[in-house]
């Protein structure tokens, strides 16, 4: 991410390429691991922080268990929608979640996201490793501006965690 865009966020996620097809994202949150994990598996909480700030997230389906499915719809101010879906491969509270991720606007391009929740004193570090099918898919995602949406989501998650 460019320095200008990073400065727009108080606590930007660190996004790095870690292999031919992988991206690793690291970010700390000022909340205990159990609380941060709950925000990732509770549909009511997901609707409050997932997606772009100007959009509304509708949790169409969320079965946060091994083999369960999920689908979120992001409704934009102009009433356009973007939908995302996948299936949970592993849900191990409060340590790890692994799931597939697919934007319905580009069906067939599925990646695997593995989120690890690490205790850092009274804070939580999440480390997300996303594995794409091909390097060009990874590079396209990075070039799409995904870091802006990611950091907006994480700022809203900070706000949700601080509201308790």
- The pLDDT assigned to 22 comes to 97
Report, as an integer, the average pLDDT of 78-99: 97
- The pLDDT assigned to 144 comes to 83
Higher pLDDT: 164 or 154? It is: 154
Q: Is the peptide bond before 146 cis (omega within 30 degrees of 0)?
A: no
Q: Which two tokens stand for residue 115?
A: 């989120």
Contacts of 50 (CB under 8 A, 6+ apart): 57, 72, 153, 156
Quickly state the pLDDT bin for 20 (edges 50, 70, 90). very high
Q: What pLDDT, in 10s, does the model give residues 57-84?
A: 999 999 999 999 999 999 999 999 999 9
Quickly state the pLDDT bin for 50 (edges 50, 70, 90). very high
- The pLDDT assigned to 108 comes to 85
- The pLDDT assigned to 31 comes to 98
- The pLDDT assigned to 154 comes to 97
- The pLDDT assigned to 5 comes to 45
126 three-class SS: strand
Report, as an integer, the average pLDDT of 135-147: 88
For the chain, give the mean pLDDT. Answer: 93
- The pLDDT assigned to 107 comes to 84
Domains of the chain: 3-162 (3.30.530.20)
Given a cut of 50, is residue 1 above it in pLDDT? Answer: no
Quickly state the pLDDT bin for 3 (edges 50, 70, 90). very low
Q: What pLDDT, in 10s, does the model give residues 111-124?
A: 999 999 999 999 99
């Amino acid at each position: 991410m460019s320095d200008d865009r990073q400065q727009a966020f108080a606590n930007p996620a660190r996004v790095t390429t870690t292999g031919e097809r992988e991206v690793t994202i690291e970010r700390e949150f000022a909340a205990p691991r159990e609380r941060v994990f709950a925000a990732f598996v509770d549909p009511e909480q997901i609707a409050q922080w997932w997606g772009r700030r100007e959009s509304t997230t509708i949790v169409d389906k969320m079965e946060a268990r091994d083999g369960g499915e999920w689908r979120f719809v992001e409704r934009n101010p102009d009433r356009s929608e973007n939908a995302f879906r996948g299936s949970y491969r592993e849900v191990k509270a409060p340590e790890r979640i692994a799931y597939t991720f697919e934007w319905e606007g580009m069906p067939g391009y599925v990646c695997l996201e593995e989120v690890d929740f690490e205790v850092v004193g009274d804070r939580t570090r999440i480390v997300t490793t996303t594995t794409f099918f091909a390097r060009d898919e990874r590079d396209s995602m990075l070039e799409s501006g995904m870091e802006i949406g990611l950091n907006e989501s994480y700022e809203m998650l900070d706000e949700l965690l601080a509201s308790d």
